[in-house]
A = this chain, B = another copy of it.
Amino acid sequence: MSHTADQQRRAAREHYNASLGDCPARQLLEAISGKWVTLVMLALAEGRQRHSDLRRKIPGVSQKMLTSTLRSLERDGLVSRELTAQVPVRTDYELTARGHSLLRIVFELKDWAEENKEDVASSRLEHDIGLPAVN
């Protein structure tokens, strides 16, 4: 029986989908690798906050995206939500201990971005005007 490269590729991918694709570690890695997760966690680094505070701090985030990111972080035990009985009901969000353990790595990503922003900007410029990049 002969297989084309495409058939082989499809079979290999199906195999991976059945193993790695269902792997909880990969799913979790994907869940924490989103730009809104990163930005919301950094905003929460400053401490307990309301939805409106977070929305003000994170430029470009929509109400819907912020709500869905916070729900996902809460579901994963990274953020806790506290309701205070007042009119209207006040909702505060805060990083949990688990959230803080991930925040440590998010801070490293942020520091890396700060340290590399000029070099990356140079690479982009060289790439866009077609010069060979120096690496």
Task: Contact check, A133 vs B77: say whether CB atoms are below 8 A apart.
Answer: yes
Contacts of A57 on B, CB cut-off 8 Å? Answer: 16
**Overall SS of chain A's interface:** helix
Copy number in the complex reads 2
**Interchain CB contact (< 8 A) of A113 among B28, B37, B38:** B28
A46 at the interface (CB under 8 A from B): no
Residues of A within 8 A of B (CB): 5, 9, 12-13, 16-17, 20-21, 24-26, 28-30, 32-35, 37-39, 52, 55-60, 74-77, 80, 96-98, 101-102, 105, 108-110, 112-114, 116-124, 127-128, 133, 135
Jot down 14 A-B pairs with beta carbons below 8 A, ordered by A: A16-B59, A21-B59, A21-B60, A24-B120, A26-B39, A28-B116, A28-B117, A30-B39, A75-B127, A77-B122, A77-B127, A96-B135, A97-B135, A98-B120
